[in-house]
Amino acid sequence: NAGVTQTPKFQVLKTGQSMTLQCAQDMNHEYMSWYRQDPGMGLRLIHYSVGAGITDQGEVPNGYNVSRSTTEDFPLRLLSAAPSQTSVYFCASRPLGSFYEQYFGPGTRLTVT
Amino acid sequence: KQEVTQIPAALSVPEGENLVLNCSFTDSAIYNLQWFRQDPGKGLTSLLLIQSSQREQTSGRLNASLDKSSGRSTLYIAASQPGDSATYLCAVALQGAQKLVFGQGTRLTINP
């Protein structure tokens, strides 16, 4: 098992550009989520999904879109990047009924200039 | 709104000491509480999970306790080692929701 993979590892964007952060898992987990981590603020939930075709907003969803067309993939889209979106982004997955088997990806460090 | 706080933000201790990390939360209606470890530039690894009906969980040198009524959890690390150096985060799962709320983390340094 590769676990949870994220690409790219690093990205620099200019204000107004768009991009997609990729997240994939090979554990057949129903639940997937995206978090952002900023210095001194812990992780904050952006969006999550409980299965293919089902997504919902987390604590800080503004400026981000998600879709879940397959169980394996959960991409995060930035439509028009802003400097406030400079952060480290983590994707996570787990079985729907269990918090015990929760896995996090290695993160994507995004800088918006 | 659930808020999770971890104090201190950073802690530095000599090798071999026993230490306690603190986590507090504002709403006692939680489903569970987890402690995670994060190494620099890496993702999170789950260390311990305590269900809301439990008082503590142990794994090796780690012991986590939960007092729901007071909104507190502690992570006890016995006989600390340099390899324990990392950031430790606690997170609560909200009842009836599929969401985790994280604290800010405690950056722990164990000095040889």
pLDDT tens for each residue of A59-104: 999 999 999 999 999 999 999 999 999 999 999 999 988 888 889 9
SS3 at position A52: coil
Mean pLDDT of chain A: 95
Q: Which of B31, B28, B25, B33 is nearest to B7 (CA)?
A: B25
**In the numeric block, which tokens belong to residue A34?**
């995206």
Residue B61: band (very low, low, confident or very high) from pLDDT cuts 50, 70, 90: very high
Dihedral sign (CA B2, B8, B14, B16): negative
Q: Are A35 and A44 in contact (CB under 8 A)?
A: yes
Question: Looking at the predicted structure, is the pLDDT value of residue A1 above 70?
Answer: no
For chain B, what percent of residues have pLDDT higher than 90? 90
Shortest Cα distance from A73 to chain B (angstroms)? Answer: 18
Give rounded-to-5 percent helix, strand, coil for chain B: 5, 60, 40
How much is the average pLDDT of B55-71? 96
Question: Looking at the predicted structure, is the pLDDT value of residue A17 above 80?
Answer: yes
**In the numeric block, which tokens belong to residue A98?**
């269990």
- A73's enclosing H/E stretch is none
CB atoms < 10 A from the CB of B12, how many?
11
Question: Looking at the predicted structure, is the pLDDT value of residue B80 above 90?
Answer: yes
**In the numeric block, which tokens belong to residue B98?**
């599929």
Confidence (pLDDT) at B63: 98
Nearest beta carbon to residue A106 from set B6, B43, B100: B43
Residues B3-41 pLDDT 10s = 999 999 999 999 999 999 999 999 999 999 999 999 988
How much is the average pLDDT of A42-59? 95
Instruction: Give yes or no for B93 touching A (CB within 8 A).
Output: yes
Q: Is A51 left (phi over 0), alpha (psi -120 to 50) or beta?
A: left
Mean pLDDT of chain B: 94
Nearest beta carbon to residue A42 from set B32, B45, B103: B103
Contact flag A90-B102 (C-beta cutoff 8 Å): no
Confidence (pLDDT) at A40: 80
Q: Which of B102, B107, B109 is nearest to B5 (CA)?
A: B102
Confidence (pLDDT) at B23: 98
Strand partners, A13: A112
Instruction: Give yes or no for A10 touching B (CB within 8 A).
Output: no
Which amino acid type is present at position A26?
Answer: D
